[in-house]
């Protein structure tokens, strides 16, 4: 399964593009404030934006889509959950071994030694507790590469899966959006769940038009197909 911001929309997390309201911070588009260039130019401003988002997210809970997805990991011999989301709501709903292609907002990473600091239970340290250098959000910012190995592992699983679900993504951001294409090319049955059509819809074997929190729980009954 590949998930995107749409899975968290019903939890109150704004999406970046389609459907929900697009995030703008102090007049700056999200792809400006969330960029590698901004970390170089004004790291305090980047933290101000991520601190705001973390505080906003802190109050939010997973929705029925997250809980259903967490259930699927015990339903299949092999279930791989790949997310573009940094909000940690999949894990909060009980999902394990989530492949976070774009990092996680609840972690800070040292710019010098790469040591990561968990901020889920504790406040953000002023500097790296290992080497004292500056910290930045452990999130993939615009203009940056994905965490080493994450995409390669996800692509390997996509190339071997029989069933591929694509839930709540506009399928505009690569390389993540390439995963369902890899699954399809390898013969998987591809299903999209989204209230809107995406560039991926025509490639899918099935398009379930609707909200993830309403559609996915339909699979949670004894007479569901799955």
Q: Is 58 annotated as catalytic?
A: no
CB of 127: closest distance to ligand APR in angstroms? 26
Residue 20 interacts with ligand APR (CB under 6 A)?
Answer: yes
Q: What is the DSSP letter of 22?
A: P
Which of 92, 107, 198, 200 touches ligand APR by CB under 6 A? 198
Alpha helices, H only, 84-174: 89-92, 150-158
| Interface mask toward ligand APR for 131-170; x: CB under 6 A | -------------------------------------xxx
| Partner residues linked to 207 by β-bridges | 192
CB of 11: closest distance to ligand APR in angstroms? 9
Which of 1, 2, 4, 92 touches ligand APR by CB under 6 A? 4
Q: Between 31 and 130, name the residue whose CB sits nearer to ligand APR.
A: 31
Question: Rounded CA gap, 111 and 158, in Å?
Answer: 32
Q: How many CB atoms lie within 10 A of CB 84?
A: 23
CA nearest to 86, candidates 56, 48, 43: 56
Residue 35 interacts with ligand APR (CB under 6 A)?
Answer: no
Question: Rounded CA gap, 106 and 120, in Å?
Answer: 5
Question: Rounded CA gap, 82 and 166, in Å?
Answer: 10
Site residues, ligand APR (CB under 6 A): 4-6, 9-10, 15-20, 84, 102, 168-170, 172-173, 193-196, 198, 211-213
Residues marked as catalytic? 102
């Amino acid at each position: 399964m590949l998930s995107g911001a749409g899975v968290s929309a019903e939890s109150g997390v704004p999406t970046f593009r389609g459907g929900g309201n697009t995030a703008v911070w102090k007049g700056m588009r999200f792809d400006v404030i969330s960029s590698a260039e901004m970390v170089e130019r004004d790291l305090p401003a980047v933290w101000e934006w991520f601190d705001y988002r973390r505080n906003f997210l802190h109050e939010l809970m997973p929705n029925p889509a997250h809980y259903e997805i967490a259930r699927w990991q015990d339903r299949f011999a092999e279930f791989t959950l790949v997310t573009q989301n940094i909000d940690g709501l999949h894990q909060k709903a009980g999902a394990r071994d989530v492949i976070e292609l774009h990092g996680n907002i609840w972690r800070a990473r040292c710019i010098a030694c790469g040591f990561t600091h968990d901020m889920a239970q504790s406040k953000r340290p002023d500097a790296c507790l290992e080497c004292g250098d500056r910290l930045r959000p452990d999130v993939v910012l615009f203009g940056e590469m994905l965490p080493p190995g994450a995409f390669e592992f996800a692509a390997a699983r996509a190339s071997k899966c029989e069933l591929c679900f694509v839930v709540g993504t506009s399928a505009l951001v690569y390389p993540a959006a390439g995963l369902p294409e890899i699954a399809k090319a390898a013969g998987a049955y591809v299903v999209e769940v989204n209230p809107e059509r995406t560039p991926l819809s025509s490639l899918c074997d099935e398009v379930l038009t609707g909200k993830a929190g309403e559609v996915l729980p339909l699979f949670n009954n004894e007479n569901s197909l799955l």
